[in-house]
Structure 1
C-alpha cells in the first residue's frame, strides 16, 4: 500500500470519527464551509462582472 492511499484512508477515518463523535459540530463546520464557498463564488462573479462592465 502506498503512502498516498494510506493517507487518504486515514483522512477518511478521521472525518468519520469526527462526524460520529461530534455530529452537531461537524454539521456546523460543513455549514460554515458551504457559506464560505458560496461567498467566495459570489465575490469572484462580482469581480469578473466589474472587470467586463467597469
Structure 2
C-alpha cells in the first residue's frame, strides 16, 4: 500500500474516533475552525478593499 493512502486512512480513523468519543468537543472544534476561516476571509476582504479604495 501507498504510505500516503495509509496516512489518509489513519487521519480519517482518528477524526471518526474523536467525533464518536467526544462529540461535543468535536463540534466546538469545528465551530472554532469555521470562525477562524470567516475571520480570515473578512480580514482579506478588508485589506483588498482598502488597497483599491
Q: TM-score range by the shorter chain?
A: over 0.9
Per the alignment, residue 19 of structure 1 pairs with 19
Q: Give TM-score, length-normalised by structure 2.
A: 0.99
Per the alignment, residue 33 of structure 1 pairs with 33
What is the CA RMSD across the aligned residues, in angstroms? 0.2
| Unaligned runs of at least 5 residues, structure 2 | none
The correspondence of residues 36-47 of structure 1 with structure 2, limited to 5 A, is 36-47=36-47
Per the alignment, residue 5 of structure 1 pairs with 5
Per the alignment, residue 50 of structure 2 pairs with 50
What count of residue pairs does the alignment treat as equivalent?
53
Q: Give TM-score, length-normalised by structure 1.
A: 0.97
